[in-house]
């Protein structure tokens, strides 16, 4: 029996990672699209060559990738971001599809994909359940600034927030479970408890003969 498939999306700084920690189940396998993308980029000679051709040798020093530099380039230019997405997204989506559809040990009853760009990629049909995590833009900005430890200015982060909001929105035509993460961790825990109970119910129902 295939596991329940869950997609969780939302803008940067909305708190998707915090929600996933609170949704932790012993039978849940969590996949992070950003981490998988970085691994693919580092492992693929072809991707690194395309990055060099598109953005210059400086973004791929010593067969590695300068991710902060690459980020500063693409988030200051819609055209550059479009180029990066055209290079990375096709192989990433193939890999993610394989991971979501592969056979898993029966102990894995739920596979969750953490991917902000689910609406942009139009892969909502991959999932049995969709979760959208949101927070006001000013809250997301403060979280991102704190997380960057001063490496990125608020102006730089605001550009990234605006670019992402321009790029995609929560898709219509699909039922999303909305989690508004604009309060304390206890408030978020309360909201996630409901979702966790829903997941447990669905997992239990799918296990019935």
Phi, psi of 152 (to 5 degrees): -110, 140
Query: What's the token pair of residue 18?
Result: 């915090």
Residues 180 and 165: their CA atoms lie apart, in Å, by 16
Of 12-16, 59-63, 96-100, the range with the lowest mean pLDDT is 59-63
- Tokens encoding 154: 């608020």
Contact 96, 181 (CB under 8 A): no
Instruction: Answer yes or no: is pLDDT of 123 > 80.
Output: yes
Which has the higher per-residue pLDDT, 91 or 62?
Answer: 91
CA distance 42 to 56: 16
pLDDT score for 207: 65
Greater model confidence, 9 or 150: 9
For the chain, the first-to-last Cα distance in angstroms comes to: 10
Query: In the block, which residue shows the tokens 């049995």?
Result: 128
Q: How confident is the model at residue 181 (pLDDT cuts 50, 70, 90)?
A: very high
Q: Does domain 35-114 have CATH number 1.10.287.70?
A: no
The helix-helix angle for 45-55 and 78-101 (nearest 10°) equals 170
pLDDT of residue 151: 83
Q: Break the chain into its structural domains and give their ranges.
A: 35-114
Taking CA atoms, 195 is separated from 6, 89, 172, 192, in Å, by: 11, 29, 20, 5
Per DSSP, 62 falls in state: G
Give the other-Cβ count within 10 Å of 199's Cβ: 23
- Average pLDDT of the residues in 66-90: 92
Token pair of 107 as six digits = 């102990």
The per-residue pLDDT of the chain, averaged, comes to 91
Please tell me the predicted confidence (pLDDT) of residue 36: 97
Confidence (pLDDT) at 167: 86
Q: Give the model's pLDDT for residue 111.
A: 92
Contact 115/33 with Cβ under 8 angstroms? yes
Q: What is the Cα–Cα distance from 39 to 88, expressed in whole angstroms?
A: 11
pLDDT, position 198: 86
**Per-residue pLDDT for 208 more than 70?**
no
The pLDDT tens digits of the residues spanning 19-70 come to 998 987 778 899 999 999 999 999 999 999 999 999 999 999 888 999 999 9
Reduced DSSP (H G I as helix, E B as strand, rest coil) percent helix, strand, coil of the chain, to 5 = 60, 15, 30
């Amino acid at each position: 029996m295939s596991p329940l498939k869950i997609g969780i999306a939302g803008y940067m700084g909305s708190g998707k990672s915090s929600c996933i920690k609170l949704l932790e189940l012993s039978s849940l396998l969590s996949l992070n699209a950003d981490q998988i993308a970085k691994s693919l980029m580092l492992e693929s000679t072809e991707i690194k060559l395309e990055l060099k051709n598109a953005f210059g040798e400086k973004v791929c020093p010593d067969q590695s990738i300068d991710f902060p530099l690459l980020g500063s380039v693409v988030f200051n230019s819609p055209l550059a971001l479009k180029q990066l997405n055209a290079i990375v997204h096709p192989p990433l989506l193939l890999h993610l599809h394989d991971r979501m559809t592969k056979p898993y040990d029966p102990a894995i009853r739920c596979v969750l994909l953490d991917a902000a760009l689910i609406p942009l990629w139009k892969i909502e049909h991959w999932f049995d359940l969709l979760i959208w995590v949101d927070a006001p833009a000013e809250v997301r900005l403060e979280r991102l600034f704190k997380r960057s430890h001063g490496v990125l200015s608020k102006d730089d982060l605001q550009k990234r927030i605006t670019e992402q909001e321009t790029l995609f929105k929560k898709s219509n035509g699909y039922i999303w479970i909305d989690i508004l993460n604009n309060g304390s961790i206890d408030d978020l825990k309360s909201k996630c408890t409901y979702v966790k109970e829903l997941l447990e119910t669905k997992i239990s129902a799918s296990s019935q003969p």
